[in-house]
């Protein structure tokens, strides 16, 4: 049974928000805000990984991740989302695709995450990695949002649950994501 503080359950409840055009990113973030400062990050990672032709979700979600990570690193209140981003709607088709793609693995991650190796569950490392992955996600790289999204999902859930093993895994996925990006950049430079 899923706990009332489950991120996966909160994610699936997004279907009830908004009107026929879908909920806004602001409404979605508000529904996650009661779960804590890191709680909107799985939503942003899931949205950023979801294909959305014509809608720059990777850039929007990556920018919001950078904004939240900077607020977390500097220990500033996150405050309200920037209005231009908060008003953007999540189209119903994109929301359905996101729920199909992300809700089942998110449930599994939540079941796996538990308090262990607390010394490694240091939020500052996670915020730094999330900042880097937000920058990568915001870049217009075709199919380049999957690894950063997975890294942010793992890191945010691990820190929320106090799972140091999950933080180490999330940092490894972050490093892999940056290595893939560096490889792509080198290939492009070598090509031209």
**What mean pLDDT is reported for the chain?**
83
Residue 100: the pLDDT is 86
Domain membership flag for residue 117: yes
Beta-strand ranges (E) seen in 61-124 are: none
Enter the tokens of residue 61: 């979600």
pLDDT category, 34, cuts 50, 70, 90? low
Distance, in Å, from the CA atom of 70 to the CA atom of 133, rounded to the nearest integer, reads 12
Residue 129: the pLDDT is 94
Domain membership flag for residue 118: yes
* Cα torsion 84, 159, 144, 185: sign: positive
Domain membership flag for residue 182: yes
pLDDT category, 128, cuts 50, 70, 90? very high
Distance, in Å, from the CA atom of 190 to the CA atom of 133, rounded to the nearest integer, reads 24
Residue 5: the pLDDT is 66
Domain membership flag for residue 24: yes
Domain membership flag for residue 1: no
The mean pLDDT value for 176-181 works out to 92
Residue 2: the pLDDT is 36
Distance, in Å, from the CA atom of 97 to the CA atom of 83, rounded to the nearest integer, reads 25
Domain membership flag for residue 2: no
| pLDDT tens column, 14-27 | 888 877 888 888 88
| pLDDT tens column, 86-110 | 788 888 888 888 888 888 888 888 8
Q: Which range marks the domain in which residue 57 is found?
A: 7-191
What is the domain count for the chain?
1
Domain membership flag for residue 15: yes
The mean pLDDT value for 143-160 works out to 88
Domain membership flag for residue 166: yes
Distance, in Å, from the CA atom of 181 to the CA atom of 188, rounded to the nearest integer, reads 11
């Amino acid at each position: 049974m899923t706990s009332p503080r489950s991120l996966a359950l909160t994610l699936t409840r997004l279907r009830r928000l908004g009107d026929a055009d879908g909920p806004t990113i602001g409404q979605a973030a508000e529904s996650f805000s009661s779960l804590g400062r890191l709680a909107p990050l799985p939503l942003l990672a899931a949205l950023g990984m979801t294909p959305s032709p014509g809608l720059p979700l990777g850039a929007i979600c990556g920018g919001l991740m950078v904004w939240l990570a900077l607020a977390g690193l500097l220990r500033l209140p996150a405050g309200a989302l920037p209005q231009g981003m908060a008003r953007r709607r999540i189209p119903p088709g994109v929301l359905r695709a996101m729920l199909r793609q992300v809700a089942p693995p998110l449930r599994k991650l939540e079941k796996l995450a538990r308090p262990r190796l607390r010394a490694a569950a240091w939020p500052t490392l996670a915020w730094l990695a999330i900042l880097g992955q937000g920058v990568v996600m915001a870049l217009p790289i075709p199919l380049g949002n999957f690894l950063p999204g997975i890294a942010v999902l793992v890191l945010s859930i691990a820190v929320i649950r106090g799972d140091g093993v999950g933080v180490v895994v999330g940092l490894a996925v972050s490093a892999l994501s940056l290595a893939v990006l560096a490889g792509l950049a080198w290939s492009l430079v070598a090509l031209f």
